[in-house]
Amino acid sequence: MAKQKILVVDDEPDLVELVKDVLERNNYFVISARNADLAIKKVKESNPDLIILDLNLPGIGGIEVCRILKRDKKTSSIPIIMLTVKSTETDKIAGLEAGADDYMTKPFSTAELVARTRAVLRRILYAGEPGEVLVSGEIRLDSTEHMVYVMDKKIDLTPKEFNLLYLLMKKKGKVLSRTFLIENIWGYEYLGGTRTVDVHVRHLREKLGEEGKKVETVEGVGYKFVEEE
């Protein structure tokens, strides 16, 4: 089996070498880029399985790189872990809003680096039974194709957005707490808190259009998927 490929984007050579050494010792193939332009070029050339992206890159910065990659259908499904020296909730939410799947605050331990890398690369927990199709109104989720359609139009979802919709539809009518969603979709104890769920749900609703109203917020608890009356 080929090694999973990880692109590390940071302008600090010592940190890049550290990350590269740790990940290669854990059987990953690592490439690197020192700036935004080179990063975007390498993503398109190499199609990595994961991108570890520094927030504070020279030039356009990590947030904008993340937005560019997530807007491009060819690269939008590649998961991104954001690196930042900032630890405020505002900075973390900004990264998630841009499409990042996770983040780590510098300095981080090598154990955390490996754990988060493995977690993000872990295959989808709720991909569904082979051939399973879930339908609600104009929404059709096909687990075999791993695709979602609204009014027969394909909707481009990230892996976590797909997981959220699958789990909510599979347990329609039931209230699922943010903690439950974190544990069952992210698949590990997410140290950043449950706000990441809110960000992903907001993106999911936007992509579903009018059908997004079926994902209802249960104040102080989480979310549930409701059928039309």
Question: Structural domain boundaries of the chain?
Answer: 5-121, 133-225
**Domain 133-225 belongs to what topology?**
Arc Repressor Mutant, subunit A (1.10.10)
Which of 95-99, 106-110, 183-187 is predicted with the least confidence, judged by mean pLDDT? Answer: 183-187
Class of domain 5-121: alpha beta
Contacts made by residues 178-185, CB under 8 angstroms, sequence distance 24+: 178/221, 178/222, 178/223, 179/222, 180/222, 181/222, 181/223, 184/125, 184/126, 185/125, 185/126, 185/160
pLDDT of 4-21, one tens digit each?
Answer: 899 999 999 999 999 999
DSSP strands (E only) in the chain: 5-9, 29-33, 50-54, 80-84, 102-105, 133-136, 139-142, 147-150, 153-155, 176-177, 215-218, 222-225
5-121 and 133-225: same fold? no
User: Greater confidence, 155 or 122?
Assistant: 155
pLDDT of 141-197, one tens digit each?
Answer: 998 788 999 999 999 998 889 989 999 998 888 899 888 888 778 765 555 567 789
Reported confidence tier of residue 74, pLDDT bands at 50, 70, 90: confident
